[in-house]
Structure 1
Amino acid sequence: MNQPALKKYPVGIQTFSKIREGDYLYIDKTEYVYRMTHTNSVYMFLSRPRRFGKSLLTSTLHAYFEGRKELFEGLAVEKLETEWTQYPVLHFDMSLGKHMDKDALTRYLHNLLQNNEIRLGIAAREAQDTNIRLTNLIMDAYAKYGRQVVVLIDEYDAPVLDVVHEDRDLPALRNVMRNFYSPLKACDPYLRYVFLTGITKFSQLSIFSELNNIQNISMTKEYAAICGITEEEMRTQMDADLDVFADKLDTTKENLLDKLKSYYDGYHFTWPSPDIYNPYSLMNAFGEGELNSYWFGSGTPTYLIEMLRKYQVAPQQIGGRKVRQENFDVPIERMTNVTPLLYQSGYLTIKDYAAFAQLYTLDIPNREVRLGLMSNLIQNYVPDTEPVGTLLGLMAEQLHNDNMDEALHFLQTFLSTVPYTDNTDYEGHYQQVLYIIFSLMGYYVDVEVHTATGRVDVVMRTAHTLYIIEVKLNKSAAEAMQQIDLKHYDERFALCGLPVVKVGVNFDSERHTIREWTIDNGINGSLL
């Protein structure tokens, strides 16, 4: 069939003018731009995960405040704006200010200031301190153009984010940034609008300690969908794209939507909120015509893995958290556990809210993030991760055919050949290994599942079967199965709608693999 002509997908493009002039697909967010700039608040802050559209939103604000009306033809703001006043705009992109010491960071800030001076045609006044130079720039721009100045700061926290887990470098870098941002309050009479984006909140950066009138719109319901793509936006603004994509995968549009939802949907930054799709992953998926791990594959921040280690968070402990807002929407420097970082970085999102208890349920957003997390965490359990992909394929094939016995044979062989890792002398280590392996295969898996008589070590569900798995270390598979039977664990899942299969597994701490297992269909396996 003849396919309609589609716009190009703006993969990696974060400049509004380039998208509009290059006839790329643009999901219209300009109604939000008008709303943001026509409130009583002059200072606004938005937190969203990386690659979630913050830079594009900032660029859109830049074009709007420069009065570039031609770029907004056909968009929502065209019907709302009547004046299109031109303001001098200072635009600071902090995303490249990473992995620097304080001297390099100071030079980087001077370079950003110089770029803005050149763009606005303002002669630089001699100033060694970045805050003085920024003050001069704001006042000189105000004097030259006769209008208040707009300041846009994108990824304000980038220079300090990668050292948030360190005590050595963070204070010095934080002081450099605090000094740079300090003029924003003093220059208030000269400012029309100030907008800052970032991933996290830092309590001791001056934008939060001094700008006490800054409006944080990160969890404001009216801005819930300001970044990302909603299903309604996809169905209306990408309807033809869905048809083409479905044809590529030889499936129906509704089946494709189900897959896209499973992989890339599920984000909520307030409650209630529409489902938000990851825009970076979605654009890549449509552009490539494949469902892959794009957001996570674009780079896992070092600080995330380091903080999970620092707070000793086991893989199965990442999701399923019930917390109050003050326990996750807090400045990173005040956090006492890893929850705020996981939420603000996009690895957890809001899944529910109990108004009476004022408790939010935070969980992993979708399949892409879950698989990405497990892929990174498995190296803590299996140092040589290269053969893992083959193992997952072999095990998945067997479990698809309800052959748990052969799947455990593959896992046993694999574990017996990988290098030794530390901390393998407790049952929880092997429970975590099973959790990660089953998660990487895309199955539902949970650990320490409560029943009326105890807790099941591992519950795993495939399309056809629910498995109850009891793990022992240096004991016997028979003891594991006996515990399942004595405590009647299977009764807890009698109404699940799937056949329930009981599995007892015994690991060997000396050989670091499965010694033996027994399955309630009479199949037994052991280490040769």
Structure 2
Amino acid sequence: MTERKKFSTGQDFEEIKKRGEFYLDKTLQIYDFLDQCGKHNFLSRPRRFGKSLMLSVLKNIFTGKKELFEGLYIYDKLKFEKFPVLHLSFAGISRHDDLKKYIQYNGRIHIDDKELKIKDFDYFNIGVVLEEICERAGKPVVVLVDEYDKPILLHLKNIQKAEKVRNFFQDFYAPIKDHDRYIHFFMLTGLTKLMKMSIFSVLNNPKDISFVGRHTDLIGYTQREVEDNFSKEIEAIAKKQNREVTQILQRMKEDYNGFNFGGEKLYNPWDINNFIENEEFGSYWSDTGIPSTISDYIKDNAIDVQRIIDYERDNSLIVSEMDLRVHNLQRLRPEVLFFNAGYLTIRNKDEQNHYYLKFPNKETEQVMLEYFLKLSLGKHYNLRDWKDVSQRITSGVFEQNADVIQKSVQDLIYRNCVGIPYDWHNKNPEGWLKSMVGVAIRMNNIYYMGENQNIIGRTDLHILRGGAVYVLEFKVNKNVDEAIAQIEKDYVQSYHNSFEKIIKIGINWNKISKKVDVLIK
């Protein structure tokens, strides 16, 4: 019988090793990083990706605790020279914490196996603290700052407060510039790169390794790491679920893989660890849904999440390299916010350094679709009812059953969407209806294309399946014959050479009579 791996929910490397809990060996990547890195470094990654654990590993390397690394790649590769370490983590901060007190009590200093806190020093000035640490230890300091941007992002709901917090940290980090000689190594992690944070200027712009191909797998699990480290567990899960190992691996890829930062696609460790431990598929990384900081920002700024979903589907969700460096909190692009939080990832990059974004995997896609529905329907959103109408619409399309589509769309509008503010579907009723039906189809893992600018005309949705193309055109207060005519005019000729069958589906919603008509040809 395979000995079950014990997984830790904590991020303390020393505790993990002492308790005999599982640690997937990333020290090859860490060794390569330390060999190639500069003095000041920055890494951005989504939550629960392993940033805190990676910094804990670095802390134990620089405090010379070689015994913890026995059996790991790096064990006989380094001298494990001891340095004093200042470790400051904002992972546990709340929006109500006093910043100065939090830093004083959570800024931990490790000198010769002793642990101090910033409050143990006479000054709050970080430069003076670094100088004093260096004098006590006789060596320059290793500085590790985790989730540096969290105190600011907690206040996205109140931009003035966020700016005030940022100003506090500008003053806090500013003395580092004149005390850089006391620093041996500096590592900063977070979700975003806030360019106006003084830390990026006082450190002479730390090397951003977030999208450097050589270091993109510094944290996160690669496909090979998953298969090499969990082969026995995956075999056991396959046996338990009466499936082939290849089927389990494929489902794991679809549900959890796909995070791309410019190198190999990665798994979020939190997902894989929980999947292996629980021996069943589930939404582990996204179990809490969209974080409240992002949700509040989206609602307070009337961000069009529907547009993000539509653009992602059409491969036209694009951000520039400059967009990813947040210069102004008041002009923060929602695509960048979702990217930094892990709900979008890189599809590809063009020659102009423009990034095309997409959902990393089915888990994150499902979260975004459900979030859109909750945002759209408010208290009227009911997952069970929505799944029912979603399945009926999808079945109606593929079975070419106009009655099923008609009744399902009617239910979608007048049962699932009852009580929606009038302006929601008054400003752009055709676009609203298309998005709601599109999300309903996509919730069943059916992928469709939207308006294709390369083809004459702008038919609303088209689904490719089994040698056939299903083309849906939506009208409001018109008629289904007009919808079919538009499909025949704009799309049929383009598709005749590529598909055996073209199924044309016209849907008209008469808002006056509250009637939905469907015609299939």
Specify if TM > 0.5. yes
Which residue of the partner structure matches residue 45 of structure 2? Answer: 48
**Greater shift after overlay, 65-74 or 451-460?**
451-460
TM superposition score normalised by structure 1: 0.87
- Residues 88 and 120 of structure 1 are in contact (CA less than 8 Å); yes or no, is this contact kept in structure 2? no
Q: Which amino acid aligns with 2:325?
A: V
Which residue of the partner structure matches residue 189 of structure 2? Answer: 197
What CA distance in whole angstroms lies between the structure 2 residues aligned with 1:396 and 1:330?
41
Distance 1:109 1:75, change over 3 A: same
1:39-66 per-position Cα deviation (integer Å, ceiling 9, x unaligned): 4611111001111111111111111111
Choose the corresponding residue for 2:310, options 316, 323, 346.
316
Alignment of 1:112-511 (within 5 A): 112-113=106-107, 119-120=115-116, 124-127=120-123, 130=124, 132=125, 134-164=126-156, 166-270=158-262, 273-308=263-298, 310=301, 311-313=303-305, 314=307, 315-318=309-312, 320-321=315-316, 323=318, 325-333=320-328, 337-355=333-351, 357-393=352-388, 395-396=390-391, 399-400=394-395, 402-403=398-399, 404-405=401-402, 406-417=404-415, 418-421=418-421, 422-425=423-426, 426=428, 427-450=430-453, 452-461=455-464, 466-487=469-490, 489-494=491-496, 499-509=501-511
- Residues 131 and 182 of structure 2 are in contact (CA less than 8 Å); yes or no, is this contact kept in structure 1? yes
- Residues 84 and 109 of structure 2 are in contact (CA less than 8 Å); yes or no, is this contact kept in structure 1? no
Which residue of the partner structure matches residue 7 of structure 2? Answer: 9
Distance 1:40 1:349, change over 3 A: closer
Gaps of 5+ in 1: 521-528
- Residues 394 and 444 of structure 2 are in contact (CA less than 8 Å); yes or no, is this contact kept in structure 1? no
1:297-317 per-position Cα deviation (integer Å, ceiling 9, x unaligned): 234123434555635352313
1:463-482 per-position Cα deviation (integer Å, ceiling 9, x unaligned): 79642111111222232222
What CA distance in whole angstroms lies between the structure 1 residues aligned with 2:296 and 2:83?
43
- Cα distance, 1:121 vs. partner? 7.7
What CA distance in whole angstroms lies between the structure 1 residues aligned with 2:385 and 2:500?
28
What CA distance in whole angstroms lies between the structure 1 residues aligned with 2:292 and 2:366?
17
- Cα distance, 1:505 vs. partner? 1.1
Q: Which amino acid aligns with 1:41?
A: G
Which residue of the partner structure matches residue 86 of structure 2? Answer: 90
TM superposition score normalised by structure 2: 0.88
Q: Which amino acid aligns with 2:260?
A: H
**Greater shift after overlay, 240-249 or 159-168?**
159-168
- Residues 104 and 118 of structure 2 are in contact (CA less than 8 Å); yes or no, is this contact kept in structure 1? no
What CA distance in whole angstroms lies between the structure 2 residues aligned with 1:385 and 1:472?
25
Q: Which amino acid aligns with 1:108?
A: Y
Gaps of 5+ in 2: none
Q: Which amino acid aligns with 1:433?
A: M
- Residues 409 and 516 of structure 2 are in contact (CA less than 8 Å); yes or no, is this contact kept in structure 1? no
1:143-185 per-position Cα deviation (integer Å, ceiling 9, x unaligned): 2222221111110000001333643212111111222222333
1:312-362 per-position Cα deviation (integer Å, ceiling 9, x unaligned): 35231346246474244322527563333232222222222334x544322
**Greater shift after overlay, 448-457 or 384-393?**
384-393
Distance 1:148 1:514, change over 3 A: farther
Distance 1:62 1:125, change over 3 A: closer
Distance 1:383 1:494, change over 3 A: farther
- Residues 503 and 519 of structure 1 are in contact (CA less than 8 Å); yes or no, is this contact kept in structure 2? yes
Root-mean-square deviation (CA, aligned residues, Å) is: 2.8
Q: Which amino acid aligns with 1:348?
A: L
**Greater shift after overlay, 200-209 or 344-353?**
344-353
**Greater shift after overlay, 71-80 or 502-511?**
502-511
- Residues 326 and 332 of structure 2 are in contact (CA less than 8 Å); yes or no, is this contact kept in structure 1? no
1:453-497 per-position Cα deviation (integer Å, ceiling 9, x unaligned): 30111223567964211111122223222222233x244444666
Report the identity percentage: 26
Which residue of the partner structure matches residue 68 of structure 1? Answer: 65
Distance 1:476 1:451, change over 3 A: farther
What CA distance in whole angstroms lies between the structure 1 residues aligned with 2:130 and 2:240?
52
What CA distance in whole angstroms lies between the structure 2 residues aligned with 1:494 and 1:411?
28
Q: Which amino acid aligns with 2:264?
A: P
Distance 1:200 1:409, change over 3 A: same
Secondary structure of 2:519's aligned partner: strand
Secondary structure of 1:456's aligned partner: coil
What CA distance in whole angstroms lies between the structure 1 residues aligned with 2:200 and 2:29?
23
Distance 1:301 1:510, change over 3 A: farther
What CA distance in whole angstroms lies between the structure 2 residues aligned with 1:332 and 1:244?
49
Q: Which amino acid aligns with 1:340?
A: V
Which residue of the partner structure matches residue 525 of structure 1? Answer: none
- Residues 473 and 507 of structure 1 are in contact (CA less than 8 Å); yes or no, is this contact kept in structure 2? yes
What CA distance in whole angstroms lies between the structure 1 residues aligned with 2:15 and 2:466?
45
1:379-436 per-position Cα deviation (integer Å, ceiling 9, x unaligned): 2322235423333145426735833542542342243123223321121111121122
Which residue of the partner structure matches residue 518 of structure 1? Answer: 519
1:241-262 per-position Cα deviation (integer Å, ceiling 9, x unaligned): 2212222322111111111111
